[in-house]
């Protein structure tokens, strides 16, 4: 395999169970891949992987999508490495109906309120969707609807116990599994411009850079997952939702949320810009606000923007 020139070429060849000839050039590139956390073995003549890795594949992802969804998805890009998929996709054209960008390795992903999202090589899903909407209906629900779409996609892949911590963090067995970052800009001529970043821990087993309790699909199920299959299900769910945003059934939305609500009935700490206070979580309203009750009060109050954590017992 001496004709492989780039780090991405060698990475994809390794994932395809090919053996890479040991040359001076390949040694240098292989070390760069090792530095990103991939365990690469070698014998006398070649480098190889002992484990199965599924490289991201546009062909495999698109083959599992319906013709209608493939038609909507006119721009599709997979990168080997980027700092942030949200930042990268923001540099692309917004003329297409929907644009999708994925990366194998993300160095500076961001969560809500500037928090970092760490993701090693070939382990997780780091995906951004870009689209425009001239609708004025239900756009405030996009973070919550995206979280439900993630849960539905994971359910189709055998993960049935996901819960959502308002507004859009996904938890499994009480540990964080996935995060969503929605960026919205409004233009009088083009309507609302959305970039939705989704990060899901898939086959990651260790990561010392994460400073909170987390889990992954492989940790939960004890088996390796093909990220392409999950991405296909995720795109099917999100594209269907975004493309019919005007016609969301709000009763069904609230019912679906109740089934996945991680906070309901819990004592929580609510952190707003200028204050922190305690409350009891009581579901959501039809406009996506978190419903809370203050201690010793039966009055429901709405919270539209805040960090929320479950209060320690």
Kindly report, residue by residue over 169-201, the tens digit of the pLDDT.
999 999 999 999 999 987 666 678 899 999 999
> Is residue 112 scored above 70 in pLDDT?
no
Question: 188 and 124, same structural domain?
Answer: yes
pLDDT for 220 beyond 90: yes
User: pLDDT above 70 covers what percent of the chain?
Assistant: 91
* pLDDT confidence bin for 264, thresholds 50/70/90: very high
The verdict on 82 and 184 lying in the same domain is yes
Domain that holds residue 186: 58-259
In a domain, 293, yes or no: yes
Q: What is the mean pLDDT of the chain?
A: 90
Q: Report whether pLDDT(306) > 80.
A: yes
Write the pLDDT tens digit of every residue in 27-50: 999 999 999 888 999 998 999 998
Residue 59 has a pLDDT of: 97
Residue 2 falls inside a structural domain: no
User: Do residues 274 and 247 both lie within one domain?
Assistant: no
**Pair 250, 304 in one domain:** no
In a domain, 236, yes or no: yes
Q: Which residue has the higher pLDDT, 209 or 124?
A: 124
Residue 53 belongs to a domain: no
Same domain, 99 and 236: yes
Is 1 inside a domain boundary?
A: no
Choose the weakest-confidence range: 49-58, 98-107, 111-120, 283-292.
111-120
Is residue 2 over pLDDT 50? no
Residue 98 lies in a domain: yes
Does the residue 78 lie in any domain? Answer: yes
Residue 108's pLDDT is 78
Q: Quote the percentage of the chain above a pLDDT of 90.
A: 73
pLDDT greater than 50 at residue 1:
no
Please report the pLDDT score of residue 113 as a whole number: 55
Q: What is the mean pLDDT of residues 126-155?
A: 93
| pLDDT of res. 239 | 96
The confidence band for 67, taking pLDDT boundaries of 50, 70 and 90, is very high
Q: Does pLDDT of 210 surpass 90?
A: no
Cα–Cα distance for residue pair 237/250, rounded to 1 Å: 17
Query: What's the 3-state SS for the chain?
Result: CCCCCCHHHHHHHHHCCCCEECCHHHHHHHHHHHHCCCCCEECCCEEECCCCCCCCCHHHHHHCCCHHHHHHEEEEEEEEEECCHHHHHHCCCCCCCEEEEEEEEEEEEECHHHCEEEECCCCCEEEEEEEEECCCCCHHHHHHHHHHHHHHHHHHCCCCCCEEECCCEEEECCEEEEEEEEEEEEECCCEEEEEEEEEECCCCCCCCCCCCCECCHHHHHCCCCCHHHHHHHHHHHHHHHHHCHHHCCHHHHHHHHHHHECCCCCEEEEECCCCEEEEEEEEECCCCCEEEECCCCCCEEEECCCEEEECCC
CATH number at residue 92: 3.30.930.10
Average pLDDT of span 267-290: 93
Q: Are residues 244 and 286 in the same domain?
A: no
How confident is the model over 156-173, as pLDDT tens digits?
Answer: 999 999 999 999 999 999
Domain identity same for 185 and 76: yes
Total domains in the fold of the chain: 3
Which residue has better confidence, 273 or 190? 273
| Whether residues 107 and 197 fall in one domain | yes
Q: Say whether pLDDT at 263 is over 50.
A: yes
Do 82 and 150 belong together in one domain? Answer: yes
291: domain CATH number is 2.30.30.100
Residue 131 has pLDDT above 50, yes or no: yes
Is the model's pLDDT at 271 over the cut of 80? yes
d(CA 177, CA 169): 8
Residues 276 and 166 in one domain: no
Question: What local confidence, expressed as pLDDT, does residue 128 receive?
Answer: 97
149, 216: one domain: yes
Q: Residue 313 pLDDT > 60, yes or no?
A: no
Within-domain flag for 209:
yes
Place of tokens 């942030």: 84
pLDDT of res. 123: 92
21 and 154 housed in the same domain: no
- Averaged pLDDT, 13-25: 92
Q: How would residue 91 be classed by pLDDT, with cut points 50, 70 and 90?
A: confident
CA nearest neighbour of 228 among 236, 240, 220, 219 = 236
């Amino acid at each position: 395999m001496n004709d492989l020139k780039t780090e991405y070429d060698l990475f994809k060849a390794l994932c395809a169970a090919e053996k890479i000839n040991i040359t001076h050039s390949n040694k240098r590139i292989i070390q760069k891949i090792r530095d990103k956390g991939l365990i690469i073995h070698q014998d006398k003549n070649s480098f190889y992987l002992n484990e199965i890795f599924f490289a991201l594949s546009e062909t495999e992802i698109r083959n599992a999508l319906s013709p209608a969804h493939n038609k909507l998805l006119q721009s599709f890009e997979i990168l080997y490495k980027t700092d942030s998929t949200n930042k990268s996709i923001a540099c692309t054209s917004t003329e297409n109906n929907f644009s999708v960008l994925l990366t194998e390795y993300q160095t500076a992903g961001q969560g809500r309120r500037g928090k970092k999202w760490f993701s090693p090589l070939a382990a997780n899903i780091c995906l951004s969707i870009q689209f425009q909407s001239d609708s004025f209906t239900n756009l405030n629900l996009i973070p919550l609807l995206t979280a439900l779409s993630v849960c539905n996609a994971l359910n189709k892949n055998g993960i049935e116990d996901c819960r959502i911590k308002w507004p859009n963090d996904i938890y499994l067995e009480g540990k964080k599994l996935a995060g969503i970052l929605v960026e919205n800009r409004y233009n009088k001529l083009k309507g609302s411009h959305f970039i939705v970043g989704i990060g899901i821990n898939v086959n990651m087993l260790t990561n010392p850079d994460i400073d909170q309790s987390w889990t992954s699909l492989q940790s939960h199920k004890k088996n390796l997952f093909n990220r392409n299959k999950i991405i296909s299900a995720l795109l099917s769910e999100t594209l269907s939702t975004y493309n019919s945003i005007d016609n969301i059934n709000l009763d069904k939305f609230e019912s679906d949320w109740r089934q996945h609500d991680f906070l309901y009935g819990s004592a929580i700490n609510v952190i707003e810009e200028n204050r922190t206070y305690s409350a009891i979580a009581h579901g959501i309203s039809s406009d996506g606000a978190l419903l809370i009750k203050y201690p010793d009060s039966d009055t429901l109050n709405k919270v539209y923007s805040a960090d929320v954590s479950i209060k320690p017992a």
